[in-house]
Amino acid sequence: MGIRDHLKKAHRVVVKVGTSTITYPNRKPNLMRMEKLVREIVGLSNEGYEMVLVTSGAIAIGMDRMNLDKKPREIPKRQAVAAVGQAVLMHIYERLIAEYGGIAGQVLLTRENSMRHNQYTHSRNALQAMLRMGVLPVVNENDAVTVDEIKIGDNDSLSATVATLIDADALIILSDVDGLYTANPEKDKSARLIPVVEEITPDIEALAGGPESQVGTGGMYTKMQAAKIAMSSGVDMAIVRGDVDGAIRAVLAGEDIGTIFPAKEAHLRARKSWLAFGKRIEGDIVVDDGCERAMMRGASLLAAGITDVGGEFATKSTVRVLNASGREIARGIVAYDSATLNKIKGRHTSEIAKLLGSNAPEEIIHRDNMVIMA
Ligand code: GLU
């Protein structure tokens, strides 16, 4: 079955819409666009789909409401703007959703909700109950009380986290471009749309530009991070233009639009995806080719294959495992702190026992605490 046909089977769907789609450049809400979006989503709920909307716009709309030209520099003031904007944003959505006969429920999440396992479970239960009760969850990050350090930070990643949390079948990201291009379509006439991306390789990440290049090929960096989360969690992801009527329905009908990122077949179960994506990454471990091959066959990570350790971290931190070419191949909870790892990297297990005593764990990351990302 092709990927487009696979999307036809989706039942639980997360739709993410960004600030630029639902506001004008002067930051006022684009009511026409919001109305069409809501009509399409409620229409799909009526048809039997379980829909979740992840929406940005709180900060822009708050700035408009408070007549501010610039985002305040002080964090508490930015939070105040978000508090005002979120209320205005939700007021508009609630009216529109009710107008079309739906029931809106507001969910404001922070990274904490996906980082701590008990909160992860509570958020998951709450969202699933809403869907069972016929409520349309309208989700944003809780910008009024969070600060950057504890934020997910961008709603692309937030939407993928939500899709993982509720075991969604599909995540549809409405963007201001048609999908992922081979080059920036605004600058390069020969740029072509890539219809399907099977894997987020370093080349694909390079197309999306670095974290700083929000314009890149259309603010694609955070979307590639979202795709990694979605694909490894068993969620098909699509990027399509948000200002085209019926785009969500077209994706779910298997039409040939946008860029699709098919879910990996053996997707992570809830605990593992929490492990992979709910937690803050504290550092990197680089491994050699032999170690990479062993890990791909299901082995735990041992010290002998470690060539480098990046960052400073404590025991039980979540770290990324990179292969020799710098590509992330796994994530997991590490049994040693970075200082000790630097001492034992490259050494065989017998040497470690001599250095640290016979009780020292053999596995640097045990395979039960590890998620393969490649
Ligand atoms: N949560 C932010 C807002 O509502 C948006 C974050 C993003 O655009 O990714 O303004």
Give, for all 374 residues of the chain, the pLDDT tens digit: 688 888 999 999 999 999 999 999 999 999 999 999 999 999 999 999 999 999 999 999 999 999 999 999 899 999 999 999 999 999 999 999 999 999 999 999 987 776 666 677 788 899 999 999 999 999 999 999 887 766 778 899 999 999 988 989 999 999 988 999 998 888 888 999 999 999 998 888 888 876 554 444 447 888 998 999 899 888 999 999 999 999 999 999 999 999 999 998 655 555 566 666 667 889 999 999 999 999 887 789 999 999 999 999 999 889 999 999 999 888 888 999 999 999 999 999 888 888 888 788 889 998 777 877 76
pLDDT number for residue 275: 65
Could you give the CA distance from residue 76 to residue 60 in angstroms, rounded to a whole number?
A: 16
Among 16, 17, 19, the mutation site with the greatest number of ligand 1 atoms within 8 A of its Cβ is 19
102 Cβ closer than 6 Å to some ligand 1 atom? no
174 Cβ closer than 6 Å to some ligand 1 atom? no
59 Cβ closer than 6 Å to some ligand 1 atom? yes
300 Cβ closer than 6 Å to some ligand 1 atom? no
Distance from Cα 208 to the centre of ligand 1, integer Å = 19
317 Cβ closer than 6 Å to some ligand 1 atom? no
The SS3 of residue 221 is: helix
Residue with tokens 């979740």: 52
Atom of ligand 1 nearest to the CA of 62: 10
140 Cβ closer than 6 Å to some ligand 1 atom? yes
Residue pair 231/261 in contact by the 8 Å Cβ criterion: yes
pLDDT number for residue 213: 44
219 Cβ closer than 6 Å to some ligand 1 atom? no
Residue with tokens 């079309």: 100
Phi and psi of 92, rounded to 5°? -65, -50
Nearest to 306, CA basis, from 290, 329, 318: 290
